[in-house]
Amino acid sequence: MKCQDHTLHCNAGKAIVTQKGDLKGYGTIWYYPKGIANILSLHKVQGKYRVTYDSSTMARFEVHKSDGMSCIFTPSKKGLFFSDVKHGNAHVLVNTVDRIKNNYTIKEYSDAHKAQSKQDIIGCPSIKDYVRYVENNMLPNCPITKADIMHAEDILGPNFGSLKGKMTRTKLSKVVLNTCNELPAGMLKEHGDVTLADDIKYINEIPFVITTSWAIHFGMAELIKNEKILTKMVALRQVIEAYEARGFII
């Protein structure tokens, strides 16, 4: 569209702009066909749309449009924020709660929140199990319906609590343990004669013979099935053999 001349000033000098164009979703802008970019005023853009910017993450301006689309402006090497519309990288589809909830009535939206809240209370079961609980009346006096559960999934997304511990486990790499039975130099010479102290302790009502050496303070625990003298002596013999195998004298 031809219009009154307008002078455009930039770091390369100035240019006479005589045309205007319509940018869909924004409005009328000055158009310079020989330029590599058209400049938008942040002040005017934020007057039409919500604009967010967070420098603590990946620095970029995001213009949130009313149709659920977002226009992303990222910095160039020289610092100018731009949106590359030529290669189709400017727009990303963002399914926001505000956009999706418009498909539901106020009551359906409210019941969806109640359904997800109830899901948290009963331990975050999967959607399949949650629906089964509701349909089989396994939750006494529960006003939640299957429709409420499905609406919650659509509006609010999956319940993250129900996903914990249910993801596919990846195969771990083989763990190689490097065991070494060699004692520190001089250990046997200085502390070869060992005196042991022992006692019986219970862990979750399970008895263990606990031993510790006086000088080197090395502790061991042997599981026993009862507190009979013979049972205890078998456990102590295993401890003594472990020391003697490394040259100690008990």
Residue 87 has pLDDT above 60, yes or no: no
Question: Does residue 125 lie in a domain region?
Answer: yes
pLDDT tens-digit series, residues 129-165: 899 999 998 988 889 999 999 988 888 777 766 666 6
Is a pLDDT exceeding 80 seen at residue 29? no
* Co-location of 159 and 104 in the same domain: yes
Task: Give me 126's structure tokens.
Answer: 């999967």
Q: Are both 107 and 159 inside the same structural domain?
A: yes
Alpha helix ranges (H) inside the chain: 42-48, 97-101, 106-121, 127-135, 146-156, 160-163, 187-191, 229-244
Decide if pLDDT at 90 tops 50. no
Please indicate, yes or no, if residue 147 is contained in any of the structural domains: yes
Q: Is residue 212 one of the residues assigned to a domain?
A: yes
Count of domains observed in the chain: 4
Together in a domain, 9 and 63:
no
Two tokens at 201?
Answer: 């302790």
Same domain, 82 and 133: no
**CA pair distance 231, 223, nearest whole angstrom:** 10
For 38-96, what is the HEC assignment? CCCCHHHHHHHCEEEECCCCCCCEEEECCCCEEEEEEECCCCCEECCCCCCCCEEECCC
Contact 7, 14 (CB under 8 A): yes
Q: Domain for residue 8, yes or no? A: yes
Does residue 87 sit in the same domain as residue 140? no
DSSP β-ladder status, 206-213 and 196-203: antiparallel
Instruction: Determine the pLDDT at residue 43.
Output: 76
- Residue 206 neighbours by CB distance under 10 Å: 10
Structure tokens at 104: 């539901």
Task: Specify if 34 maps to a domain.
Answer: yes
- Statement to judge: residues 62 and 80 lie in one domain: yes
**pTM of full prediction above 0.75:** no
| 30 and 67 share one domain | no
Mean pLDDT of 48-55: 80
Amino acid at 42: L
Domain of residue 61 covers 46-94
Smallest CA-to-CA distance from 94 within 52, 45, 54 is with 52
